[in-house]
């Protein structure tokens, strides 16, 4: 497989490469070992990532932490996180056996016996990259074996006596949770599915290649044609999902989960779309950046409807918005200019977040920093 040319958008914005590398190293150090860290060691050989706003460890954060570590070539921290996951999150019995409990307290007690599919897909991708970068070990550290087992479970739970698949095998789209038939646009990672189509079990590779195409088509439906904004939850047709609000609350708006959608679209363009001459990712990125830079520049950190109406003055994760707005510039033209340049400069001038809500903002911040510096790579 031909690897993409990794674009250093921060350097294109006029930032010196030694400064960029220093920022990458300092941010990792702060998140994992600084006074505002959210990586915590547990005993001699385990560690967890804490959601500092909710005081738990989530498959989202644990898999994010593993992806950060493999990108930064930090095997020791990667292995600590993965052992914690397998010790406290992996479910060995019941209808969700083979999946991971999405929320666990820092002392290892599960808060739920249900999974969240975004964790499984990030676990699988991080493990495959670890296999290629460091080689497979034994037991749970046989990274490629573990990754393929996760992907196999995600597609074949319904072949057994209990449980549901994480992907709908008819429409090739990821479910919000296995038991429900709607989706979360930010869970759609076509750039991961392309790679699963190379490295998963051979009999499943065609499914993953089709899933990549299905998710790309879905993302174009889910992003508003004028603003580029996507909802947190949606129907498979891409319409904002308004059901089950008595259980989950409101999620038909551009709010916390939804910020990741444009980041994923930009990564798909960087890894695969540019080489193929695709344009839809660029069009969505330009619409979203235009919305933030030219339409709501006086209220850039609010809660929005996908049509762009301001629904509340204060977003819960304002730094995350800045980060993904900048990451969208991966899909911009060259030379970097206009709104794309403006978003990158605003990101560079923004520090990591501090305080109770720092976990989610800083995860998205660091992924944006890796991507914009050309350091978020396929291994």
CB-based burial, 267-305: b 16+ in 10 Å, e otherwise = bbbbbbbbeeeeebbbebbbbbbebbbeebeeebbbbbb
Of the residues 56, 257, 268, 361, only one is catalytic, namely: 257
Is 204 a residue of the active site? no
333 vs 27, 260, 338, CA distance in Å?
A: 27, 21, 10
Of the residues 60, 77, 118, 184, only one is catalytic, namely: 60
Contact 167/155 with Cβ under 8 angstroms? yes
Is 278 a residue of the active site? no
CA 26, distance to chain mean position in Å, is 21
Contact 228/176 with Cβ under 8 angstroms? no
Q: What is d(CA 258, CA 255) in angstroms, rounded to the nearest whole number? A: 5
* Beta pairing class for 303-304 and 310-312: antiparallel
Contact 107/56 with Cβ under 8 angstroms? no
235 vs 36, 242, 300, CA distance in Å?
A: 38, 9, 27
Q: What is d(CA 292, CA 227) in angstroms, rounded to the nearest whole number? A: 9
* Beta pairing class for 39-42 and 46-49: antiparallel
The residues carrying an active-site annotation are 60, 257
């Amino acid at each position: 497989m031909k690897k993409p040319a990794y674009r250093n958008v921060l350097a294109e914005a006029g930032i010196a490469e030694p400064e960029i590398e220093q920022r990458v190293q300092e941010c990792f150090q702060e998140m994992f070992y600084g006074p505002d860290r959210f990586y915590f060691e547990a005993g001699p050989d385990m560690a967890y990532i804490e959601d500092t706003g909710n005081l738990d460890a989530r498959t989202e954060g644990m898999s994010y932490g593993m992806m950060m570590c493999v990108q930064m070539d930090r095997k020791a921290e990667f292995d600590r996180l993965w052992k914690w996951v397998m010790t406290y999150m992996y479910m060995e019995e019941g209808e969700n056996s083979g999946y991971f409990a999405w929320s666990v307290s820092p002392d290892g007690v599960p808060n739920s016996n249900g999974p969240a599919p975004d964790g499984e897909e990030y676990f699988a991708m991080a493990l495959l990259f670890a296999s290629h970068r460091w080689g497979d070990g034994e037991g749970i550290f046989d990274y490629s074996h573990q990754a393929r087992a996760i992907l196999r479970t995600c597609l074949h739970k319904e072949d057994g006596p209990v449980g549901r698949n994480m992907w709908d095998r008819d429409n090739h789209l990821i479910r919000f949770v296995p038991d429900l038939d709607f989706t979360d646009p930010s869970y759609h990672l076509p750039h991961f599915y392309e790679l699963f189509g190379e490295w998963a079990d051979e009999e499943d590779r065609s499914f993953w290649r089709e899933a990549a195409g299905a998710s790309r088509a879905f993302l174009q439906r889910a992003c508003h044609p004028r603003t580029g904004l996507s909802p947190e939850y949606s129907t498979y047709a891409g319409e904002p999902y308004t059901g089950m609000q008595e259980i989950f609350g409101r999620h038909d708006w551009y709010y916390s989960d939804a910020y990741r959608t444009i980041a994923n679209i930009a990564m798909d363009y960087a890894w695969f779309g540019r080489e193929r001459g695709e344009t839809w990712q660029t069009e969505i990125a330009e619409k979203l950046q235009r919305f933030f830079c030219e339409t709501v520049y006086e209220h850039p950190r609010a809660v929005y409807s996908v049509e762009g109406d301001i629904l509340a003055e204060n977003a819960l994760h304002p730094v995350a918005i800045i980060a993904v707005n900048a990451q969208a510039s991966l899909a911009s033209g060259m030379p970097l200019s206009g709104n794309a340049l403006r978003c990158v400069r605003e990101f560079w001038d923004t520090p990591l977040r501090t305080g109770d809500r720092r976990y989610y903002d800083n995860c998205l911040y660091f992924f944006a920093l890796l991507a914009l510096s050309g350091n978020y790579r396929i291994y």
